[in-house]
Amino acid sequence: MDYVSALVPPVVMAVFFIGLVVTIVKSQGGPNKAKEDAAVDLAFGRAGSVQQSTSNNDD
């Protein structure tokens, strides 16, 4: 029965990983795609402006 206890954790992790991948793939696109893309663009813009202001302060 040691083999069962050795195989259960990897199998459970594999099932959850497959579920995660399926969820990510299903959530791509759809009606919220533009809103999600805008949020990501905003986050990248903020990160870029913070990085630029930090590099300007180092001069």
Domain extent, residue 23, equals: 2-58
The overall average pLDDT reported for the chain is 86
Query: What's the predicted TM-score (pTM) here?
Result: 0.49
DSSP code at position 29: S
pLDDT for 21-41, tens place per residue? Answer: 999 888 887 777 888 888 899
Nearest of 31, 32, 50 to residue 42 by alpha carbon = 50
Q: How many domains does the chain have?
A: 1
Residue 15 has pLDDT above 90, yes or no: yes
